[in-house]
Amino acid sequence: MNARMFWPLVSGTIFGAGLALGGMTDPARVRGFLDIFGSWDPTLAFVMGSAAFVMAIAWRFVARMDQPLFAEKFFLPDRSDLTPRLIGGSALFGIGWGVAGLCPGPGIAALVIEPTAAAIFVVAMLAGMGLVQLIERQS
């Protein structure tokens, strides 16, 4: 394995482990978090809060860097990135997250914990991604 692939593999492994330890790979826990008018489970609020705290610290470092450690330049969003397509896709993502209780990262991490249930989600996710590609090519 070359050095260019090593650090993304390490960070992906840490990300997956964090998702599993935080309970993000458990669809019932995710749905419990989203059920704010029912039996709300605040556990994931702490996971998200911890992630926001870590990113707040990371952004302080990024602001001082001329370029990232493993890329030519930074690819940071700006307000011109807020398109109807992005907003619609975000809404669709949120609906899917609420229905399935998984999103792409936790879905892939869940392949290790609950392979059958997660595989159904991952296959459906990949099919949806393929469908978007087909639609975009035709338009």
Whats the size of the chain, residue-wise? Answer: 139
The domain of 79 spans: 3-138
Q: Check: pTM over 0.75? Answer yes or no.
A: no
Number of domains in the chain: 1
Tokens describing residue 54: 């870590």
Q: Which two tokens stand for residue 12?
A: 């992906």
- Which two tokens mark 29? 């826990």
78-82, 102-106, 113-117, 123-127: range with lowest mean pLDDT: 78-82
At 25, is the secondary structure helix, strand, or coil? coil
Task: Please identify which residue in the block is written with the tokens 């330890």.
Answer: 21
Amino acid making up residue 59: W
For 30-86, what is each residue's pLDDT tens digit? Answer: 888 888 898 899 988 888 899 899 999 998 988 899 988 878 888 877 778 788 888
